[in-house]
Every structure is written in C-alpha cells, then in structure tokens.
Structure 1
Amino acid sequence: MDASLLPRHLKAELIEALRSARVVNIIGPRQVGKTTLVRDLLDVGKFVTLDEENVLAAMEADPVGQIDALVSEAGETPLIIDEAQRSKRLALAIKKIVDERRRMGQFILTGSSNVFTSAHVADSLAGRVQTLTMLPMSVAEISQKGPARILDWANRAERPTLADLPMPDKVSRSTYVDIMLAGGYPEIRSLEDRRRRRRYRDYVDTIVERDVADILEIRRSDAMRRLIDQLAARIANELNVQDLSGKIGIQRKTMDTYLDVLTKLALLVRLPAWTSGEVGRDIRHPKIHIVDTGIVAALRNLTSASFAIDANPTGLGAILEAFVHNELQKSLPYQKSDWRLYHWRHQRGPEIDIVAEADRTLVGFEMKAGATVDSNDFRHLKWFRDEGPGKTWNVVGIVIYLGDRPLSFGPKLFALPLSAFWAFSQMTD
C-alpha cells in the first residue's frame, strides 16, 4: 500500500461488514475515494472494474460465467467489483452465487451513491447485502485524526463538560476559510485555487453527462446543470421547488425528478425539518445542502478574497453551516447512538441551523462566522430549550464559531471552535 495514502475511517466499518454480510456495497459520489479504499487501502481481494469496456461487455454477455471465474481467482478473499452500477445483469448473477455459497465477505461492490437502491437490485440482494456510504474526506481524515465524536459527547448520561473534550487546534480565520473552500475530494482539494475550481466544475459536468445518464434519460442537460448552479447559490436555505422551477424554466414534475436524481447521486442533501408536533407552528420545508463546500465555492466562484475582513461577510455563514452539516454527516457512522440530522424553524422567527436527535436528546447547532461569541448567540437555543418544543427533551446547545477556545455559557450550552471537528485522536469506547 502506498504510504502516502490518507487512511479513511470507513475502512474499519468495511472490515467489520465483511465479517457479517455476504455482499458489501459501498456507495458514494464519484472521486471520493471508493476505488482507492477497496483496491489500495484494504489491500486484499481480487479487483476488477467495469469502467473497462471489455470487462463490462464480457460481464453483460455472460454474467454468471464471468463471476464464477473471477470468484475462483479470488479464492477465500473478496471479489471487488468497481463501478458495479454499469452492469444491468450483475445483481442476479451475484444473488445466484451468494445463495449457493453462504460464506461472509464474498463480494465488495462500489457504485455511484444510491444507484443500487433501484427496485430490481434491492429485491435481488435483500438480506444479503450491507450498504456503506462513502462521502468526501472529512478534515479529521485529512488531518489523520479520529472521527468527530461531538454528538456522543453531548449525549453523555451526565451533563457534558468541556473537560471531556479533546483540546482543539488553534486555527486562524483565514485557514478556516481555506479549509472550507478546498473541500474534501482527495485528488482536487490540494490543487492551486484556480485549477481546483476548474476541476470541481468539470466534476459537476461529468456527473450531469455520465452519472445522471446512468439512471435517467434526460433531454435537457443544460437545465440540470443550471439547477445545480441554483442549488449551490441556495445552500443552507429552505427548498422552494416552485421558485426553482421558474428560475430553471422546467415543470414542477420534472424538477422533482431532477432533485430526486441528484439526491440519489449524493450530490444534493435535503435536510428535513424537525417537528415538535405543535400543529401549524413548525416550518416543515427541508433545507438544501450540497455534499461538499469545495464544489459550492467553485460553482459560485468564491475565493479566500471573497471572505476577506473588508468583504461582505454574509455569504460565509451559509458556507460554514453547510460545512458543519457535512462534517456531522460524515461522523454519524462512528457515534455510539443512531443520530438523525434536521433543521428547525418556528413560524414566529426562532430557528436552529442543525438539530441532531437520538435517545430523547436533541443537540442544536448554531453557526457564528466570526472569531468571537457571546450570550446573544444562544438566544434561539435557549428559547427552544426553555420555552419552545425542547422543554420535554434533553437539549444541548452548541454554537460553532471561528475562534480557538471551547467555552461554556451555562448548563449544556457551549461554544466550540470549528477545529473541534478534527480534535479527536482516536475512536473511544
């Protein structure tokens, strides 16, 4: 294995999944590192890719025969099939083999996100496959640190304290901005600023021209491309499908289809609204997030100069919120509890950027795109906890800011620097 390859947190999940499932399916956007994980970091098994046209043609012509031959070559190690979504006949051939041979860890499949949830594939492999999702690299992975366990820290049986958190790095505002603009795609993030933006835009073009075409016959790729640009401009805002349809010039039904496809391809995340059950009081529209802030920066032509001290600061808040959402999403598989992410807004004004829910605990996250924080930044969190729908829950409020010190603002109210997301040295029990 190349010593320069950065370790991925998902490797431990993959190894565990191989012990408990006959087929492990790794889904995620293209170029996030799926192939590197299964071919180089795992360093075991027989690897084939259906990106090679001759291999794909042979697989389509005689899938059972090809799989049988490849399984024999793999022996007791997994057969790894990269870009598996390109074959329409692969699933049934794999089903036949795993039904006959009940050994765990027979196959590892990789593909572009949720393509494998299509009905015929899901039915073919139901009960035999474990699916793992791979996203762009977290800053913890880039820094070779452990996954961010902030949610489990907040969900301690006793009141969480700052003494139980690892001390985060001291990071300057400009470095924070650079981290958010770079994104998490392994081969793109370290490029020079202009080349990086160009590569991210080319990446989006490839998704539209190739990945979308794999699951949807699309007549107007220009409309899909304009939609992605509009989504990038609206990150961390509530989704207004009618308004988007008018901007793009397509019908509502077509817009719904396009949004579903982008969600399946893991480019778009629609963050649902948390509801309290108080009829008519909670706003229920989902928020929009794109899977990586590097893509957002490229599509909006944002650079570090866009967020200089003398520039308009309003745009940085949305980028920060999207970045925190994405880092939280990447951390979810490594928490002890099963967390779900939402946002919340009351019709009379109070709102919380991100709400994480597990075990009758709610962790609310608010963003402060500055290096200082004060008690006024907690006003919505306090109202939610003391007077709003959080009164019957265990609520922990956290303001994420661009400073360098964890701070306490009263019982279960904390200000954490953004660098807290890459402060954990290892997995803890």
Structure 2
Amino acid sequence: MNDPLLPRHLETELKDALASARVVNIIGPRQVGKTTLVRDLMTIGKFITLDDPGILAALDADPKGQLDALIAEVQAGPLIIDEAQRSTNLALALKRTVDENRKMGQFVLTGSSNIFTSSHVADSLAGRVQTMTMLPMSVAETKRMGPARILDWASADGGPDPTELPKAEVVSRAQYIELILAGGFPEIRSLGDHRRRRRYRDYVDSVVERDVASILKIRKSDAMRRMIEQLAVRVGNELNVDDLGGKIGIQRNTTETYLDILTKLSLLKRLPAWTSGENGRDIRQPKIHLVDTGLVAALRSMSTETFNIDANPTALGGLFENFVHNELWKSLPYQKRDWRLYHWRHQRGREIDIVAEADRTLVGFEMKTSTTVDASDFQHLQWFQDEGPGRSWTVIGVVIYMGDRVLSFGRNLFALPLSVFWSFPDFPA
C-alpha cells in the first residue's frame, strides 16, 4: 500500500504562495510527492511534465513561444510545469513572461533542483518567485495530523506550559523504531524491510544517474554513491571533510563539490554550529543529517533486529537524532516565528544536539533513546541555560525520549515523548 493522496502540509503554503507570487517554485528530492501535490491534490491549472521528451524539445527550441501557447490553453489557475530542471532555457523565458504580466499565481514549477540558480536570473526575479522545499512525509502527515508546533509551544508568551501540549500518542519502543526505519518517502515507507531497503538503494542510483548528472558531469559516479553511503554512517556527527574524502578516495575540492550538490538536491542538511560570539570555546564544525532515516537505515543495512535489547546500544543514537532533526526541519514553515536550526558543542565536551533560534529565544533539544528520563539527562541544557552562552538569552531545554509522558524538570526544562511530533490536531491559525 502507498500513500499517494495523503494530505500534505505544504498544500496550505502552496495556496498562500499562489496569491502572493507570480511563480511558485517547489524543489525537493525525487519521489517525495511533488508531482502528486501539484497534479492530484490541486484541482485547478494545467499540468505538463518535462519528462515528456516532445514537450521538452519544443520548450527548448522556442521557450517563449511555447510558454505563450501553453498559457493560452489554461482555463483557470496556474500552468504547472513538472520536472522544470530538465530545461536549460525555461528560467529566462519565465522571466520575460512574468515581466509582461503582473498576475499572481501564473506558474507552479517542481523539480529536484532550483532552475533559478543564475545570479542574473535570480536577481531579476526577486519578488516574483517564491521557492519552497518539499521533503519526505512527516509522521504527522502519515497519520493525518497537523504540523508539529513544538517551537510555538516552547516560545509562548509566559513560557511553555505542559498542559497546553496535546496528549501524545502512546507508542512502544518497537513502534518508534519501525517509524524511524520506514522513513517518509510515500511509495517506499509502507513496504516490508527487505523490499524497502532494496528500493532505497535503487533510489540512490537514480539520484546519482539523473539528478546529480543534471547538475554536474561526474566522471566516477561510484564515488558519489560511496559518499552517500559514508554520510549515512556519519549522521548526527560533525563533518570532517578531509576524513570523508579520504575514505572515498577523492580530493578535498571534489568532496566539497559533491557535498554542495547533495545539499542543493535537499538530500543533505549541514547543521551549522551555534555560537554566542562571546568567546572562542565553541566548536564551529557543522553536523550532518540526511533527508530521510529510511534511506539511512537502508544504506546501513539496518532492520528491526539491529535494535534488539541485546544489540549495540549506540546503534540507534545517530539515527534517532537524524529523525528528530528531520521532523523539526519539516515543521519550520508552520511555526509563527522564523526559526533556524543549529547544534552546539563546547571544547570541554558539553553539547546540545539541536538548537533552534528565533528572536533572542533558544530551544535546545537533546535526544535519549530510552523510555525513561532523569535529571542527569538535562545537565548540558541546564549548564548552557544558567552558566553557559545561553545565560543572556531566553532558553528552553527539551529532552526528546521514547516514553509516553510529558515531564517537567525545573525552570524551562521538559522531557517530551517523541510522539508529540504527531499529536497536534490542526494547522496554526
């Protein structure tokens, strides 16, 4: 069973964008549901795909003329152009069209990469294009729940109130692990372990052969595959470019180029280090996360047996942290404030897995792959809040764990079950 018509949170954002921008540009990894969103969940507009070689050839031969002809066929709503990155001439033709017509919501584009990468085109289209990123499904989407508004809750006027959180679903450790292993790709997540791992590995091949190749002609595609596999092993860890390149056997500049490509394709997220600017003791290297834990687990040949009670207890740590990061990342467009995500580590070993920042407020997240939590799990958060670089900020500390209760551990320190991410029933006002 797959989930082709499960509602997506981005649908609301898309409708708002159509009222305020001439071009709406939806980018994101392949197979996350971009085509389903614009073709099946939208009920207006004309849909074309540049996967059709005839349409692509016509558009490249006479981009402005072909756009004009297609627009003339639109009865209502936007012209929807799927796989827009396949055309090298589309961006300039779009610019000419929207310069001539100031109407909002003329075009919706989808693609694995952003066609407006030329600085000339991007600058000239400022204010005319709204770009949004579509990611694999959040657990909240798979359960038909609203976006996780945890950051709204944490930064509420008067401070976070545990009674204001919705009641979290009771989920066992085994059920949590299955959600993490399944990932969020609509057509893959519901498959059994073996088929799912095989599909995710095939997915990497298609990314390298189609999406990466459309951005950069790489001589050794196997090096890119090995990089993705190495990144899967390192999720939740700080990035060491020289060590990564050495494992793959490529030079540093090539390593940086490959990392940039995977970032542009929204497959890799480099989580920058947060620093207060007050001293030089903070570690500045970014952490790395891949876009989906199902993909990570498949590349590492992980299954439910990998996380049996008698198995290596550290195996789940990085995967769990990657999962929480991704659920937070997916929730950012739906918060009332504009949040940025970081990590923090001090030279003396203190660290916080994720730090969300907005308007002089910091929400620190630590992860615990256990069904219980105690005061010692807050030692880094409490030091950061009381004595560390967060002492001049408003700081809320949160430990995400595999239990089922919301617990308070002192001033602005809370333990939240992982299932709180899919417990909010509706969209923010």
TM-score by length of 2: 0.98
Q: Alignment partner of 1:420: what SS?
A: helix
Question: In the alignment, what sits opposite 2:109?
Answer: 109
Query: 2:32 is matched by which residue type in structure 1?
Result: V
Report if the CA contact (8 A) 1:92-1:124 is conserved. no
Question: In the alignment, what sits opposite 1:139?
Answer: 139
Q: Give the distance between the partners of 2:63 and 2:118, measured in 1 at CA.
A: 19
Query: 1:74 is matched by which residue type in structure 2?
Result: V
Deviation at 1:115, TM superposition (A): 4.8
Report if the CA contact (8 A) 1:353-1:366 is conserved. yes
Stretch of structure 1 that moved more, 274-283 or 134-143? 274-283
Report if the CA contact (8 A) 1:114-1:266 is conserved. no
Question: In the alignment, what sits opposite 1:350?
Answer: 350
Query: 1:207 is matched by which residue type in structure 2?
Result: V
Deviation at 1:121, TM superposition (A): 4.2
Residue by residue over 1:300-332, the C-alpha shift from the partner in whole angstroms, topping out at 9 and shown as x without a partner, is 000010001111110111111000000000000
Q: Give the distance between the partners of 2:357 and 2:16, measured in 1 at CA.
A: 26
Q: Alignment partner of 1:392: what SS?
A: coil
Q: Alignment partner of 2:19: what SS?
A: helix
RMSD of equivalent CA atoms: 1.3
Cα 1:304/1:116, change in 2 over 3 Å? farther
Q: Alignment partner of 1:289: what SS?
A: strand
Question: In the alignment, what sits opposite 1:267?
Answer: 267
Q: Give the distance between the partners of 1:357 and 1:67, measured in 2 at CA.
A: 42
Q: Alignment partner of 1:344: what SS?
A: strand
Q: Alignment partner of 1:20: what SS?
A: coil
Stretch of structure 1 that moved more, 139-148 or 61-70? 61-70
Q: Give the distance between the partners of 1:414 and 1:162, measured in 2 at CA.
A: 8
Query: 2:304 is matched by which residue type in structure 1?
Result: S
Question: In the alignment, what sits opposite 1:69?
Answer: 69
Report if the CA contact (8 A) 2:276-2:389 is conserved. yes
Question: In the alignment, what sits opposite 2:212?
Answer: 212
Q: Give the distance between the partners of 1:75 and 1:98, measured in 2 at CA.
A: 18
Report if the CA contact (8 A) 1:91-1:124 is conserved. no
Query: 1:260 is matched by which residue type in structure 2?
Result: D
Query: 1:255 is matched by which residue type in structure 2?
Result: T
Report if the CA contact (8 A) 2:28-2:111 is conserved. yes
Report if the CA contact (8 A) 2:95-2:121 is conserved. no
Q: Give the distance between the partners of 1:353 and 1:95, measured in 2 at CA.
A: 42
Cα 1:224/1:424, change in 2 over 3 Å? same
Residue by residue over 1:115-149, the C-alpha shift from the partner in whole angstroms, topping out at 9 and shown as x without a partner, is 53343542453321111110000000000000000
Q: Alignment partner of 2:315: what SS?
A: helix
2:193 aligned with 1:198, yes or no?
no
Residue by residue over 1:146-197, the C-alpha shift from the partner in whole angstroms, topping out at 9 and shown as x without a partner, is 0000001000110211101000000000000000000000000001110001
Question: In the alignment, what sits opposite 1:403?
Answer: 403
Q: Give the distance between the partners of 1:105 and 1:363, measured in 2 at CA.
A: 36
Question: In the alignment, what sits opposite 2:305?
Answer: 305
**Which blocks of at least 5 consecutive residues in structure 1 are unaligned?**
none
Residue by residue over 1:337-370, the C-alpha shift from the partner in whole angstroms, topping out at 9 and shown as x without a partner, is 0000000000011000000001111000000001
Question: In the alignment, what sits opposite 2:122?
Answer: 122
2:172 aligned with 1:172, yes or no?
yes
Query: 2:387 is matched by which residue type in structure 1?
Result: E
Residue by residue over 1:11-53, the C-alpha shift from the partner in whole angstroms, topping out at 9 and shown as x without a partner, is 0100000000110000111000000000000121000000111
**1:28-427 equivalence runs, <5 A:** 28-427=28-427
Deviation at 1:278, TM superposition (A): 3.0
Q: Give the distance between the partners of 2:276 and 2:345, measured in 1 at CA.
A: 10
Cα 1:3/1:379, change in 2 over 3 Å? closer
Report if the CA contact (8 A) 2:236-2:289 is conserved. yes
Amino-acid identity (%): 71
Cα 1:70/1:243, change in 2 over 3 Å? same
Cα 1:401/1:115, change in 2 over 3 Å? farther
**Which blocks of at least 5 consecutive residues in structure 2 are unaligned?**
none
Query: 2:82 is matched by which residue type in structure 1?
Result: D
Cα 1:271/1:4, change in 2 over 3 Å? closer
Q: Alignment partner of 1:159: what SS?
A: coil
Q: Alignment partner of 2:148: what SS?
A: coil
Q: Give the distance between the partners of 1:115 and 1:60, measured in 2 at CA.
A: 14
2:8 aligned with 1:8, yes or no?
yes
Deviation at 1:394, TM superposition (A): 0.4
Q: Alignment partner of 1:294: what SS?
A: helix
Q: Give the distance between the partners of 2:143 and 2:406, measured in 1 at CA.
A: 20
Q: Give the distance between the partners of 2:4 and 2:201, measured in 1 at CA.
A: 26
State the aligned residue count. Answer: 428
Cα 1:237/1:111, change in 2 over 3 Å? same
Q: Which 4+ residue blocks in structure 1 deviate beyond 4 angstroms? A: none
Cα 1:3/1:358, change in 2 over 3 Å? closer
Question: In the alignment, what sits opposite 1:19?
Answer: 19
Residue by residue over 1:203-251, the C-alpha shift from the partner in whole angstroms, topping out at 9 and shown as x without a partner, is 0111111101111110111111111110000000000001111111111
Query: 2:268 is matched by which residue type in structure 1?
Result: L
Query: 1:134 is matched by which residue type in structure 2?
Result: M
Query: 1:358 is matched by which residue type in structure 2?
Result: A
Report if the CA contact (8 A) 1:85-1:116 is conserved. no
TM-score by length of 1: 0.98
Cα 1:115/1:233, change in 2 over 3 Å? farther
Query: 1:405 is matched by which residue type in structure 2?
Result: R
Query: 1:395 is matched by which residue type in structure 2?
Result: V
